[in-house]
Amino acid sequence: MKILVTGGLGFIGSHVVVELQNEGFEVVIIDNLSNSSEKVLDGITAITGKQAIFEKMDLRDKDKVQDFFKRHHDVLGVIHFAASKAVGESVEKPLLYYENNLNTLIYILQELSKKESSHFIFSSSCTVYGQADTLPITESAPIKVAESPYGNTKQIGEEIIKDTCKILNNLNAIALRYFNPIGAHETAKIGELPIGVPQNLVPFITQTGIGLRDQLSVFGDDYPTEDGTCIRDYIHVVDLAKAHVAALKRLIDGKNQTNYEIFNVGTGKGSSVLEVINAFEEVSKQKLNYKIVGRREGDIISAYADTKKANEVLGWRAESSLNDALLSAWNWEKKIRE
């Protein structure tokens, strides 16, 4: 059973490749290496003992996408991660984000529409909810106006898939709206590799802990939360990877109730920025140099998932704690700085 993972050398994609190979799938990776490294392949192979097929390709090249599916006509399913993902950069370069995140999706769906049967897992995001009216956030929560071009590409991407599934009986798709992935594989052979200054909290924490960053900025302590800092749902990347495999198996086994389904993927528990910092200090035995600064534009107050649907329908649930995830992120940080 051959599965294509686009963006498969990225942070989440690489962990999904490991879980797929552990479950006996044959994996083909497409990545343009714009935000990843070919060395990640070595880590994947070291963990699983299996070599994934890798093709360096920019999915914005429609001819190359068509050629790929002609050569790999036996692809059973696609898990689609390939996309630009920095919120701030998307505000500065909206056309790049719309081209990269939407054109590539369209080109892949066009090829899947030609197949007798195809299965598609879309990497979506809780950003589609914005600041939800009620917490925890269920899949039926209203979609808010996007705060950034990045968030908008996730909303539009979901709409494209939903509209395509309406007219194609041969396409079965699941959109996974995940919350905040953190951590690394327990072997410390793969993990998050942010290029330049990290955009996310945990890699900035670990880089500060290791001495790569002088100070961590906490954006605002005057939010209406218990300690005044923003609350998010932090999920271990390995748990998240297993959710993708569960979703794919659901489609392959024909257990989906409609040909387009949506699931939240999170822990169901919100943690504030200061709680994450305190937990990191506990597991790493490192005192973090952090400073409270002004709020950051676009940050919502609180977001955490209602995971009942994923737990009951997908048969999946997050197993790792915040401390587990932070310890794995710290071990990975130490490994790559050796």
Q: In what order do the strands lie in the sheet with 171-178?
A: 53-56, 26-31, 2-6, 75-80, 118-125, 171-178, 260-265
Q: Is 129 a catalytic residue?
A: no
**What is the C-alpha to C-alpha distance for residues 68 and 30, in angstroms, rounded to an integer?**
10
54-76 residues labelled b (16+ CB within 10 A) or e (exposed): beebebeeeeebeebbeeeeebb
Tokens read off for 124: 């979506």
117-149 residues labelled b (16+ CB within 10 A) or e (exposed): ebbbbbbbbbbbbbebeebbbebebeebebbbb
Beta bridge mates, 231 = 272, 302
| Distance set, CA 307 to CA 159, 259, 262, 329 (Å) | 22, 21, 12, 24
Residue owning tokens 């994450």: 276
Which residue of the set 97, 107, 129, 150 is catalytic?
A: 150
**What is the C-alpha to C-alpha distance for residues 60 and 74, in angstroms, rounded to an integer?**
22
**What is the C-alpha to C-alpha distance for residues 36 and 13, in angstroms, rounded to an integer?**
10
Q: Which residues are the active-site residues?
A: 150
